[in-house]
Chains A and B, each alone.
Chain A
Amino acid sequence: MKPLNNVAEFMSKQFMNVKNYLYKNYGEAPGKMLVHTGVLGWILSSAAQVTAVMFNDKISAKEKLFLIPQECADAGVNIISFYLVTNTLKNIGSKLVSTGKLVTPKIKQYIKQNNLTEEIGKITTDIKKGMTGDIREHYTDFKNGVDVITSTTGAILSCNIITPVLRNQYAANKQKEVLAKKNANIKSPSLEYTSFHKPLRMTDYQLNAYSKYSSNMKI
C-alpha cells in the first residue's frame, strides 16, 4: 500500500501546486485569464473536431488524410488569430495603465507625489512598483477593468470579424480547388468551364455544412 500512498500524496501535492499557480497568476489578472481560457477553448474545441474526424468510421482513410490536416490548419488560423489580436489589445491596455499614460486622478496624484512624472509613457515603467495599501487596490481595480475591456474588444474583433472573413475566403478558395480537381478528372472542356466558374452550389454547401466533421464550433 505504501507506493500507492506515495503516488496519491505526490498527485495531491502537484494538484495543490497547480491551484496555487492559478491563484497567483489569475487572481489579480482577469483579463489574462480571459485570453488564456479563450485560447484553451479554441484548442480544446479544435482537438475535439480532429478527434471526431479520426474516429469517424464513415470517413475513409483517404479522406482522413485530407481532412485532418485541413482541420488542423483551420484550428491554427482560429487560435493564432484569437491570440494575436486579443493578447495584443490586452497588452496595449495594460501597458497604458502600467506606464501611467491612462490614469485616474488618484493614480495621477500618486505619480506626482512619488516623482514619477518623468517616467510616464516609458515602456519599461511600472508605476505599480512600490504601491501599497489603498492606492494599490485602486490601481489593481482600474487595471483589471481596462484589461477586461481591451481583451473583450480583442475577442470581438478576432472571433466576429477577422476569423469569419478569413474563413469564408478560405472555404470559397478550397471549394474552387476541389471543383477544379473534379472537373480535371472529367476532362471535358465545356463542363470544366461551367462548373469551375459557377459559385458554390447548394449541394456542395449542405453536404459540408451538415456533415459531422466540417464545422469548427466555438465553445
Chain B
Amino acid sequence: MLGINISNTAFYRTAKAGGQRVQQAFYDCLPNSVVGSEKWQKRIKWIGSEISSPENRLILGATALMSQPFIDAKNKAVDEDTRKVSVCRTVAKIIAGTTTGFLIRKGCISAIKNWSKLPSSVDKNGVRVKLTKLNTLFSPSKAGSDISEAFKQYQNAIGTILALVVMMFTNFLIDAPLTKFLTNKFVKHSGGVNNETSK
C-alpha cells in the first residue's frame, strides 16, 4: 500500500503557509487592546463562568425577538396576510422554543449536578455525600474537586448534551403544538387575516 501523508506534500505546505499569511495580515489589522477597568475584567470573568447554554438560549431568544419578526415583516416576497401570519408564527416559535429550551437545559444541568458527585463532594450542611451508583453516574475519574471551575463547565456540557437529546422529543411534543396554539392566539389578537384557509 502506498502511504501518502498529505501534510508532507508541497501543495499542503504552500496552502498552509498562504493561509497563515492571510490570517496574520488580518490580525495585524486589529489593534492591541488592554482591558484596564477592574469592573470590566470582573464582568468578563463572570460571563465566562456563569453564562452557559441555558442563558445562551435565553439571550438568543431575546435577540431573536428583536430581529426575526422585523425580517419577516419586511419580506416583500409574500403578500400582506402571509406576512402577518409569518410574523405571528415567528414570535410564537421563538417564545415556545426559548421557554422549553431554557427550562429543559436548566433542568438537565441541575440533574447532572446531582448525578456527578465526587469523593470530595459535601452537601449543604458540609457533610460528605454518600456515593451511590446513581449519584456518580456522570462523574469523570479525572476530576479532582467538585468546586473547580473546570468541573462546573463539565457538568454544564454533559447537562446540555442530555438536554439536546430530551429536546429531540419535546420539539414535537411541546414546541410544535405550543407554537401552533400561540400563532393562532396572536393572529386572532392582531385582527385575523382576510384570506384565512386553515387552522
- A residues within 8 Å of B by Cβ? 16, 19-20, 22-24, 26-31, 33-34, 37, 40-41, 44-45, 47-48, 52, 95-96, 99-105, 108, 120-124, 140-149, 152, 155-156, 159-161, 164-165, 168-169, 172, 198-203, 205-207, 209-210, 212, 215, 217-219
Interface size class of B (residues with CB under 8 A): 35 or more
Q: How far is the CA of A23 from the CA of B139 in the complex (A)?
A: 10
Given contacts A23-B140, A37-B160, contact A144 B48 (CB under 8 A): yes
| B103 is an interface residue with CB less than 8 A from chain A | no
Tell whether, in the assembled complex, residue B195 and residue A141 are in contact, meaning their CB atoms are under 8 Å apart: no
Q: How far is the CA of A123 from the CA of B30 in the complex (A)?
A: 12
Q: How far is the CA of A187 from the CA of B179 in the complex (A)?
A: 39
Tell whether, in the assembled complex, residue A172 and residue B78 are in contact, meaning their CB atoms are under 8 Å apart: yes
In the bound complex, residues from chain A placing their C-beta under 8 Å from that of B140 are 16, 19-20, 22-23
Q: How far is the CA of A163 from the CA of B151 in the complex (A)?
A: 34
Cβ-neighbour of B27 out of A33, A101, A159 (below 8 A): A101
Closest to B104 in A: A219
| Residue of A104, A147, A218 most packed against chain B (CB within 10 A) | A218
Q: How far is the CB of B49 from the nearest CB of chain A, in Å?
A: 7
Closest to B33 in A: A102
| B131 is an interface residue with CB less than 8 A from chain A | no
In the bound complex, residues from chain B placing their C-beta under 8 Å from that of A22 are 140, 154, 157-158
Cβ-neighbour of B97 out of A122, A156, A172, A219 (below 8 A): A219
| Chief secondary structure at chain B's binding surface | helix
Tell whether, in the assembled complex, residue A120 and residue B150 are in contact, meaning their CB atoms are under 8 Å apart: no
Q: How far is the CA of A210 from the CA of B142 in the complex (A)?
A: 49
- In the complex, 8 of the A-B residue pairs with CB atoms within 8 angstroms, ordered by the A residue number, are A23-B142, A24-B142, A121-B32, A144-B153, A161-B67, A200-B77, A210-B180, A212-B176
In the bound complex, residues from chain B placing their C-beta under 8 Å from that of A108 are 34
In the bound complex, residues from chain B placing their C-beta under 8 Å from that of A26 are 153-154, 156-157
Given contacts A164-B72, A202-B193, A209-B89, contact A123 B27 (CB under 8 A): yes
| B167 is an interface residue with CB less than 8 A from chain A | yes
Q: How far is the CB of B131 from the nearest CB of chain A, in Å?
A: 15
Cβ-neighbour of A219 out of B77, B81, B161, B164 (below 8 A): B164
In the bound complex, residues from chain B placing their C-beta under 8 Å from that of A202 are 79, 81-82, 85, 193-197
Q: How far is the CA of A28 from the CA of B157 in the complex (A)?
A: 11
Cβ-neighbour of B153 out of A30, A123, A209, A210 (below 8 A): A30
Q: How far is the CA of A200 from the CA of B49 in the complex (A)?
A: 47
| B172 is an interface residue with CB less than 8 A from chain A | yes
Tell whether, in the assembled complex, residue A217 and residue B175 are in contact, meaning their CB atoms are under 8 Å apart: yes
Interface pairs A-B: 10 shortest CB-CB: A144-B48, A27-B150, A145-B44, A172-B77, A145-B48, A202-B195, A219-B167, A26-B157, A19-B140, A23-B140
Given contacts A159-B64, A202-B193, contact A148 B51 (CB under 8 A): yes
Closest to B196 in A: A202
Cβ-neighbour of B71 out of A29, A45, A165, A212 (below 8 A): A165
In the bound complex, residues from chain B placing their C-beta under 8 Å from that of A28 are 149-150, 153
Tell whether, in the assembled complex, residue B78 and residue A205 are in contact, meaning their CB atoms are under 8 Å apart: yes
| B99 is an interface residue with CB less than 8 A from chain A | no
| B121 is an interface residue with CB less than 8 A from chain A | no
Tell whether, in the assembled complex, residue B180 and residue A156 are in contact, meaning their CB atoms are under 8 Å apart: no
In the bound complex, residues from chain A placing their C-beta under 8 Å from that of B23 are 123
